[in-house]
Amino acid sequence: MTEISFDRWYRPLAAPLGLGPGRCDVSIAAGTLHVSMGWGFSADIPPAQARVVGVPTTLRSLLVSVTDPDALIPLARTSKTATKVTDGV
């Protein structure tokens, strides 16, 4: 499908901390968007519940840069529970 996009300057900082591309995921299954960045962040939307450094929190918004948005957007639009998907900023 697609991957989370990393700026060149961020990749060498994130990888040693276990937050790099090899430990990140963005996927859609059963109408739920799942986003994770290693041990530091994970969210399943809906419901808009997330964990940041293991602490439960409520998400108000989430911006994710992916390498192939054209692959992700149609999946979100066909999801039974998807209500709003935008093509970018």
Q: Is residue 3 part of a domain?
A: no
How is residue 43 written in tokens?
């969210």
7 has pLDDT over 80: yes
Give the model confidence (pLDDT) of 50-81 as tens digits.
Answer: 888 989 987 767 777 888 888 887 877 766 54
Backbone angles phi, psi at 21, to 5 degrees: -55, -35
Residue 65 in any domain: the answer is: yes
Domain count, the chain: 1
**1 assigned to some structural domain:** no
Please check whether residue 87 lies inside any domain of the structure. Answer: no
pTM for the predicted model, two decimal places: 0.56
User: Could you list the residue range(s) of the whole structural domain that residue 28 is in?
Assistant: 11-76
